[in-house]
Amino acid sequence: MRVAIFVSGRGSNMEAILNEKKKGNLPNAEIALVLSDKADAPALEKANAAGVKTVFVDSKPYRKNREGYDAEVLKVLREHNIEFIVLAGFMRIITPVLIEAFSHRIINIHPALLPAFPGLHAQKQALDYGVKVSGYTVHFVDAGMDTGPIILQTAIPVNPDDTEDTLSARILEFEHRLLPRALDLATSRRLRVDGRKVYLL
């Protein structure tokens, strides 16, 4: 299955996927494209170094037209025969233009145990709320903010002395394991979605 990874920054989750692919652990995923909305995203350089095709789609002309931006992205995806999308630190909200074209074929990783603490600064939200356990979630993307059907989750204890930075770093370390696993399950057609529930086959 031809996969595009969407990035906006460093691309550490993208690197985790590429490393797993290099090890032979993603036999049904062909990483065909890395796409970014930021021309200077370090992830693009890393992808190029790994021999993966990269594309920058400038969002500036579409500041007031998110659907227009996604329509442009969709053209790029079709040009490259993309079948599946991974959001790996992509800091834009996906619109129905892409969601409808890739129904149950877009996954995202979020640094909290959804449905708790959606959106930005999830770790800060968790600490401010005083939770004893946080974690991360891989989910399918729908039209809401981090509301799609949940594929995989892992819980991580919150330490009394945790800061947003320390909790984020600990969660990120485990994210690097979970996102490639979810991608493998999806591209191996081992997931079945029934309403809000995702079953592992």
Residue 189 φ/ψ region, left for φ over 0, alpha for ψ in the -120 to 50 degree band, beta for the rest: left
Q: Which of 116, 173, 107, 171 is nearest to 138 (CA)?
A: 107
CA angle 50, 53, 55 (to 5 degrees): 125
Angstrom distance (rounded) from CA 30 to CA 48? 15
Whole-angstrom CA distances from 151 to 24, 47, 129, 130, 197 are 22, 26, 25, 26, 8
Structure tokens that stand for 177 in this block: 């394991």
- Choosing from 110, 121, 139, 176, which is the catalytic residue? 110
Annotated catalytic residue 121: no
DSSP 3-state assignment of 98?
helix
Q: Which residues are within 8 A (CB) of 55 and not within 5 positions of it... i.e. 6 or more apart?
A: 33, 34, 35, 36, 76, 80
Catalytic residues: 110
